[in-house]
Chain A
Amino acid sequence: MALLSTESLTKRYGHVTALDALTVTLEPGILGLVGANGAGKSTLLKILLGLVEPTAGSATLLGFDTGRQGVSLRQYVGYMPEHDCLPTDMSATDFVSHMAQVSGLPRGAARERTAETLRHVGLFEERYREMRGYSTGMKQRVKLAQALVHDPRVMLLDEPTNGLDPAGRDEMLDLVRRTGSEFGISVIMSSHLLGEIERVCDHLIVIDAGRLVQSAPMATFTAATGLLAVEVEGRQEPLAERLAAEGLRVRPEGRFLLVGLAGERTYDLVRDAVVDLGLGLVRIEQRRQTLEELFREPGAVEDRDAVLA
């Protein structure tokens, strides 16, 4: 069963179109929702939660219609909003336990799950203190905990690393990744940072100005590029000439020689050439494309053209 499917999903705020006839079907997994600020990521998540009504079209999450079956659906959904949403004068334990009961858990189970979940997100002694003194990192953990405490089948995370320092960012991403992969809870996570999505998600949805740009498994974005990066100690040029003579495509790039991969034999040719020329082989690896490069490329090309002209 598909995790999520939308059909011509449209949302307009006055003259602003936040979502423009979005049609997409997604399988369970850890899904990354990427787009610039204002691309419609938050709007999509809020429609799935029934917080916002679509202007047109429909959406189905976990097989429930988000409009008509919202109440049944939301038993199995956890939501972490982008902005602050925690009462400052409650402790994390009291608050998360309260939200667990609002999610339908009996009182005893709510207490037990709260302790487990707060431990899972890495909140220990602090959880008995009022939340007004919490750091951003601790607040983000509590927000994640309240989305997780009722053991949802899918979590919708809106910019979960918002406002975190690099270390906090890493921890939050690891937590999301672990929760998604070890416990089989589907995750739909929005971010405007490709690097984050790349580290955590196994499927990528790109939206821009409310339209679907791309939806594909992460692997297709970061697939091997068919290039070998070779780094040697000593001069590159003889090696480049030698490999070109063997009929391989060769291009220098900084300290590396990029060699077109033509079957397994290419590795042997490179090795033999390096040995014959008496060079030291530092590194030989298959070049992977990163998401950042993928999205930066059109702009980069234009820049280069501009410089040449």
Chain B
Amino acid sequence: MQSSPDLAAGNIYDLGYRRYQGARLGRRQAVLTIYLQSLRAAFGLGRRPAAKIVPVALVVLALFPAALRLGIAAATDQNIRIVEPANYYSYIQILLALFVAAQAPELVGRDLRNNTRPLYFSRAIRRSDYALAKLVALASAMLFMTALPQVVLYVGNAFAGSHVWPEMRDSAPDLPRIAVSAVALSLFMAAVSLAVAAQTSRRAFAAGGIIALFVFSGTVGGVLVEAGSALWNRLGILISLYDVMRGATFWIFATDPEPESQLGRADLPGPLYAALLAALASLALVLLLRRYMRFRP
């Protein structure tokens, strides 16, 4: 590029366009960028302040059962065992659904609405890279809703007792179970919600659809459970996404549900819940990927 002294003096700030000789990190960098940006977007980071309120509030609310138990333990010196790792997700199931309902449309709906996808798909990635980066990002964000309260509960319990280390050691077997259940539920809910959210650019439809899927599947399942026969009872449990999540979680924690609860009465094998959870997550992933494969700009 030529540069005359006059021109340079006149435009001190204008260094002008230059060719780029530096590193090109390719697909890896592209996927990492989409992942990180989506993870930040799941908490409203890099967006206007209002976008942060809902996700942060939900994370705080999800900590409430843990705080309650720890608070009671601190106040009464009694470690009441009501809120347990195995049933923690049941207490906050509506919060979990609200989080994915609010944030899944944020992750995929914006690109749909603004028609930004052609810009991504014309870069050095595959379409599946884009979809998977979004999925892993939302699942990672969900860990703040699932794993974080469990970890707080675990550490808090240990410090609530008089013997920190023995307490931690005794409940150490819970740690891998917490990790596996949190990752499994986060991936499941992220996949299901993204599969729904990717179908529409209308935020309200997507959010409503996701809430409906989790809540109404439970309602329909509950009606079937009450309908009577043992077969209907079991079918009802398997239709309800919340019950499938709960059954899989109990299996991961090697715990039996209360015998008098719906889950206890259905008396289905634990692996069945886990297998169904995996199957539904896979189905959702297929729907999500297909949505992007079939996209024609």
Contact = CB atoms under 8 A, between A and B. Distances in A.
Contact of A71 (B48, B114, B125): B125
B210 to A, nearest CB: 22
B126 A71 contact: yes
Interface string A192-204: 0000000000000
Interface string A27-51: 0000000000000000000100111
Given A81-B119, A87-B116, A116-B15, A105 B124 contact: no
A94 B20 CA distance: 19
A10 interface: no
B123 A81 contact: no
Interface in B260-297: 296-297
B22 interface: yes
B33 interface: yes
Interface string A82-123: 011111111000100011011111100100010011011000
Given A106-B22, A106-B23, A119-B14, A72 B124 contact: yes
Contacts of A89: 47-48, 110
Given A52-B296, A86-B114, A105-B25, A94 B46 contact: yes
Contact of B118 (A51, A71, A106, A120): A51
B30 A102 contact: yes
Given A52-B296, A116-B15, A116-B18, A105 B119 contact: no
A299 to B, nearest CB: 34
B19 interface: yes
B114 A87 contact: yes
A80 to B, nearest CB: 9
B259 interface: no
B29 interface: yes
B197 to A, nearest CB: 16
A71 B119 contact: no
A75 B24 contact: yes
B16 to A, nearest CB: 7
Contacts, number: 115
Contact of A113 (B20, B46, B115): B20
A106 B37 CA distance: 14
A46 B25 CA distance: 24
B29 A84 contact: no
B216 interface: no
A74 interface: yes
A150 interface: yes
Contacts of B23: 105-106, 109
Interface string B168-182: 000000000000000
A183 B123 contact: no
A62 B15 CA distance: 29
Contacts of B33: 98, 101-102
Contacts of A150: 20, 24
A72 B20 CA distance: 17
A105 B30 CA distance: 8
Contact of B16 (A52, A105, A120, A151): A120
Contact of A103 (B110, B121, B124): B124
B17 A104 contact: no
A191 interface: no
Given A71-B124, A102-B30, A102-B33, A120 B119 contact: no
A132 to B, nearest CB: 10
A50 B122 contact: yes
Given A89-B47, A102-B125, A109 B20 contact: yes
Contacts of B30: 101-104
Interface in A140-165: 146, 148, 150-151
B202 interface: no
Among A72, A85, A86, A182, max chain B CB count under 10 A is at A85
Interface of B: 1, 13-20, 22-27, 29-30, 33-34, 37, 46-48, 110-111, 114-116, 118-126, 296-297
Given A52-B296, A85-B116, 10 more contacts: A74-B124, A79-B119, A87-B116, A94-B46, A99-B119, A101-B29, A102-B125, A109-B23, A146-B119, A183-B19
